Chain A
Amino acid sequence: MIPIFVFAAVALLGAGLYVGFFVAPTDFQQGEAYRIIFIHVPAAWMSMFLYVVMAFWAGIGLAFNTRLSSMFATAIAPTGAMFTFIALWTGALWGKPMWGTWWVWDARLTSELILFFLYIGFMSLQAAIDDPRRADKAGAIIALVGVVNVPIIYFSVQWWNTLHQGASVSVNQAPAMASTMLTGMLIMVFASWMYSIAVILKRTRVIILERESHTAWVAELHKNGAI
Chain B
Amino acid sequence: MFMWIIKRDLLLAVRRQADVLTTLFFFIIVVSLFPLSVGPEMNMLRTMAPGVVWVAALLASMLSLGRMFSNDYLDGTLEQMLLSPQSLSLLVLGKAAAHWLVTGVPLVLMAPVLGIQYDLPGEALLVLTAALLLGTPVLSLIGAIGAALTLGLRGGGVLVSLLVLPLYIPVLIFGAGAVEANMSGMEFDAHLSLIGAFLLVSVVFAPWAAASALRVSLE
Contacts and interface: CB of A to CB of B under 8 A. Distances in A.
Interface of A: 114, 117-118, 120-121, 124-125, 128-129, 133-134, 137-138, 141-142, 144-146, 148-149, 152-153, 155-157, 159-160, 163
Enumerate the 3 nearest inter-chain pairs by beta-carbon distance, A residue then B residue, closest first. Answer: A156-B170, A137-B216, A117-B166
B219 A145 contact: no
Given A128-B154, A141-B145, A134 B170 contact: no
A79 to B, nearest CB: 19
B149 A142 contact: yes
A157 B166 CA distance: 12
Contacts of A144: 209
Nearest to B190: A159
A121 B142 CA distance: 14
A114 B216 contact: no
A124 B177 contact: no
Contacts of B149: 125, 138, 141-142
Given A137-B216, A141-B212, A153 B159 contact: no
Contacts of A125: 149-150, 159, 162-163
B159 A114 contact: no
A121 B166 contact: yes
A152 B202 CA distance: 12
Given A141-B145, A141-B149, A141-B213, A128 B167 contact: no
B154 A134 contact: no
Contacts of A159: 173
Contacts of B110: none
B165 interface: yes
A141 B165 contact: no
Which residue, of A117, A121, A129, has the highest number of chain B Cβ atoms within 10 A? Answer: A121
Contacts of A157: 169, 173
Contacts of B165: 117
Q: How large is the interface on B (under 10, 10 to 19, 20 to 34, 35 or more residues)?
A: 20 to 34
A11 B166 CA distance: 38
A129 B163 contact: no
Nearest to A111: B169
A138 B217 contact: yes
A137 B217 CA distance: 9
Contacts of B216: 134, 137-138, 141
Given A125-B149, A128-B153, A134-B216, A120 B162 contact: yes
B173 A134 contact: no
B170 A153 contact: yes
B142 to A, nearest CB: 8
Given A149-B170, A153-B166, 4 more contacts: A134-B216, A138-B216, A142-B149, A160-B173
B153 A129 contact: yes
B166 A114 contact: yes
Contacts of B170: 149, 152-153, 155-156
Interface string B142-177: 000100011001111001001101110110011001
A121 B162 contact: yes
Which residue, of B154, B159, B165, has the highest number of chain A Cβ atoms within 10 A? Answer: B159
